Amino acid sequence: MEADGDIVKAPFLHRLAQLGRRAGTVLLDQLYPPLCLNCEAALAEADALCGACFAQLRPISSPRCPVLGLPFEVDLGPDALSAEAIADPPPFRRARSAVLYNEVARKRVSRLKEGERPGRARFCARLRAGAGQELGGGGRVRVPVPLHRPRQFPRRYNQSTELARALAQLTGLRVDPTLVARSRRTRQQVGLSADARHRNVAGAFSVRPDAAARLAGRPVVLVDDVITTGSTVNAVTRALNRAGIADVDVMSFARVTVQGDLS
Ligand SMILES: [Zn+2]
């Protein structure tokens, strides 16, 4: 808050800093003209993919499992569930993802994780806003899946929070980045078996004690960058359920599926 005090005391300096920042942005755009986020071909528009890279993304649309959001090869009707949803019903209501996790999607997710310019989350958010249309409305609050602090701080920001914020800017929906926290350190899920993933994140998340009052009955949409086996979003949903928040949907930019691996 010290900075705020300085701003009140020195409006001229604040204005100068503002102008400096604006000039810096203009300069950045001149130094770094818009490039394809994937292959770095020159583009007319920032935060986008070129036509060739965009065509490699595999959007997930109907027909899909109404619960897990997994794409179906053939349309089995609106109530047909995937074998995965029947064998192991998730604690959340519905999950939706924008694209299959293939090479272009993987590069996008890993660039976000490495901490590229935060504004770049807009591209993923735009795609997800389309995929998650049925999860909108009803005063739903976007809650990012939290990173553990020691992992969040070196990167300076949480990519799920960035995605949730970019999504909120596009759609005007609310974001609550502090509702859920990671209460213990977990290993990276990459390279673990499904069973080990489950054990790794079970009980790893805590929900603010005032969460139910804070939400006042509003449902939650958990936001993550990529869903692999669903262990992480399952663990966060269970923590929300224990805190008395029953209505939880899940949304991600990418989704790991067998089809995604093959394409
Ligand atoms: Zn490209």
Tell me how far the alpha carbon of residue 118 lies from the centroid of ligand 1, in angstroms.
19
Tell me how far the alpha carbon of residue 89 lies from the centroid of ligand 1, in angstroms.
38
Tens digit of each residue's pLDDT (9 = 90 or more) over 208-238: 889 889 888 899 999 888 898 899 999 999 9
Tell me how far the alpha carbon of residue 53 lies from the centroid of ligand 1, in angstroms.
4
DSSP strand pairing (180-182 vs 205-207): antiparallel
| Residue recorded with tokens 């609550």 | 176
Residue-level pLDDT at 109: 83
Alpha-helix runs per DSSP H in 88-218: 103-114, 121-131, 149-155, 159-171, 194-201, 211-215
Q: Are 34 and 46 spatial neighbours (Cβ–Cβ below 8 Å)?
A: yes
Q: Are 223 and 233 spatial neighbours (Cβ–Cβ below 8 Å)?
A: no
Residue 100: beta bridge partners?
A: 255
Tell me how far the alpha carbon of residue 228 lies from the centroid of ligand 1, in angstroms.
25
Residue-level pLDDT at 5: 36
Nearest Cα residue to 232 out of 244, 222, 221, 242 = 222
Residue-level pLDDT at 31: 64
156 alpha carbon, distance to own chain's centre: 16
| Residue recorded with tokens 């965009």 | 54
Tell me how far the alpha carbon of residue 171 lies from the centroid of ligand 1, in angstroms.
26
| Residue recorded with tokens 């976007």 | 142
Residue-level pLDDT at 87: 94
Tens digit of each residue's pLDDT (9 = 90 or more) over 79-131: 899 999 999 999 999 999 999 999 999 988 887 777 666 566 777 777 777 77
Tell me how far the alpha carbon of residue 64 lies from the centroid of ligand 1, in angstroms.
28
Residue-level pLDDT at 8: 39
Tell me how far the alpha carbon of residue 98 lies from the centroid of ligand 1, in angstroms.
19
Tell me how far the alpha carbon of residue 22 lies from the centroid of ligand 1, in angstroms.
28
Encoded tokens for 11: 């409006």
Gyration radius from the chain CA atoms = 20
Tens digit of each residue's pLDDT (9 = 90 or more) over 154-210: 555 677 777 777 777 777 778 888 899 888 777 777 677 778 877 888 888 999 889
Tell me how far the alpha carbon of residue 96 lies from the centroid of ligand 1, in angstroms.
25
Tell me how far the alpha carbon of residue 121 lies from the centroid of ligand 1, in angstroms.
16
